[in-house]
Structure 1
């Protein structure tokens, strides 16, 4: 497919649909230890599965607008695009909070999937081929967000950190541990996704190994072994992050969701994480990112959906 055979409207509709579908797939995958899924609310007392449904529905037009901006900036300096996306993102956050009664369900994905939406649309209209290349999208993402980590995280004062004044969790973790979180991941073109979750997701899809639900849970476990999850560190500390990684490795050693032993261990992990108030939200967000990349670069998951019906 070339840019001569697809309209801006059709492209932006497909990209926004992919973003929302990625969020819905992520929250629907169950069981996810410590996270909201179809079985329980994990370590979250203020939200549930239906809160995520409402939030996802409210964000469709936002991703469409991000894709539109990507088209508009297809042949311009990519760095100028980010400020335009930020304005749209602030409106999206307001819509999210209105839909959820003030609960933050998708702030991280508004940032990540919004930039992906813009980058994908920009790549298509600049280069004219479909499906898109993961490498091209991620290169464009890096161009759009170049310098974001230093600009946004390094300005915090050490005195403010000690007194915990006017700082986000991301700023505190960057100053204390040099952990760059989602900003660092985006600026580098999602290396954790490119090196870990995307290849595993494609492998399982190509092998037709299990249902989409089980494949996504298995990929989440791999993400949990490598993600520097700021959700976990902000709630607890680095020691707890290592604990989560070791639990995920143990689950995979037992076969993960694909074996009886692995499933039983997953249930134990979920109960343990809920009791300890552990939420691997950073890994969950990267799972949604991985799913969206598959929608943009492959034509596989829709076919599997048909097989499951």
Structure 2
């Protein structure tokens, strides 16, 4: 079988670009951006630059495994790319000196990269069919919630995500992947597509989309650290920003800066929404190859 290694480079470039553009979008309340480090004391804009740069081979290799895959069911691919993701996490921690900047995104964008490899093997096209990509993601992630979150009773130490699933049934990023990133596919991506047809610049379009995501995302970062009330507070503040026009109006811009200060004071970071913004970007870039 002939392997298109250039395609793997292309997919890695798209994934890294998505990570970089997400963190560069400014202002994002409570999140690291070009203005400040948000609610984070242990990382800044440059930490994210170093972390993103460390993932070049992670996404390259995930795409490559998708291209090479000869199994009967796409869900078999998850166990093949899992060691690649773990190696990517180790590279991230090495680059950031132990700080978790992108663990969730390595998982999300890695699965998308593998799904893109599967599709390219079938079509030989670099312009991706996003509905098919999301269906392939769903196939690859099939059963991941029940396998990884359904047997926690005998585990000694639990992550935020595991605790939330055990106590409240919140599925987090695993559930998003198992749904084929339904939050992105049916909400943020259609909004971003429309915004990109308009006159707004890329930065402002990304900022606007993250507020839409903040109104609907069951953000494990917020739930794990602050609970349900804080998540509802974040959703209400995002709705207030959008009601004022978001970043596209002067009142909206003023409100965004107020919310940023408020979230920093309350130590709230909507990291789940930030991850889904990067997923939105990657899918958009994949379908707009030129």
- Per the shorter chain, which TM-score range? over 0.9
Asked if residue 29 in structure 1 is aligned to residue 25 in structure 2, the reply is: yes
Question: Could you tell me how far apart the structure 1 residues matched to 2:124 and 2:10 are?
Answer: 16
SS in 1 for 2:215: helix
TM-score (norm. length: structure 2): 0.97
Structure 1 position 68, deviation (Å): 0.4
Deviates more, 1:65-74 or 1:37-46: 65-74
Asked if residue 91 in structure 1 is aligned to residue 76 in structure 2, the reply is: no
TM-score (norm. length: structure 1): 0.91
Q: Which of 214, 233, 239 is equivalent to 2:204?
A: 214
SS in 2 for 1:35: coil
Q: Which of 251, 254, 267 is equivalent to 1:264?
A: 254
Structural mapping, 1:54-133, within 5 Å: 54-73=50-69, 76-133=72-129
Deviations 1:191-240 (A, max 9, x none): 00011110011001112x31110000000000000100000000100111
Asked if residue 40 in structure 1 is aligned to residue 31 in structure 2, the reply is: no
Gaps of 5+ in 2: none
CA RMSD of aligned residues (A): 1.5
Give the count of matched residue pairs: 290
Question: Could you tell me how far apart the structure 2 residues matched to 1:294 and 1:115 are?
Answer: 16
Asked if residue 295 in structure 1 is aligned to residue 282 in structure 2, the reply is: no
Structure 1 position 37, deviation (Å): 0.3
Structure 1 position 128, deviation (Å): 3.3
Asked if structure 1 preserves the Cα contact closer than 8 Å seen for 2:126 and 2:289, the reply is no
Question: Could you tell me how far apart the structure 2 residues matched to 1:219 and 1:247 are?
Answer: 14
Structure 1 position 87, deviation (Å): 0.4
Question: Could you tell me how far apart the structure 2 residues matched to 1:100 and 1:171 are?
Answer: 24
Asked if structure 2 preserves the Cα contact closer than 8 Å seen for 1:41 and 1:48, the reply is yes
Asked if structure 2 preserves the Cα contact closer than 8 Å seen for 1:74 and 1:122, the reply is no
Gaps of 5+ in 1: 301-309
Question: Could you tell me how far apart the structure 1 residues matched to 2:157 and 2:53 are?
Answer: 31
Question: Could you tell me how far apart the structure 2 residues matched to 1:134 and 1:75 are?
Answer: 22
Structure 1 position 75, deviation (Å): 6.1
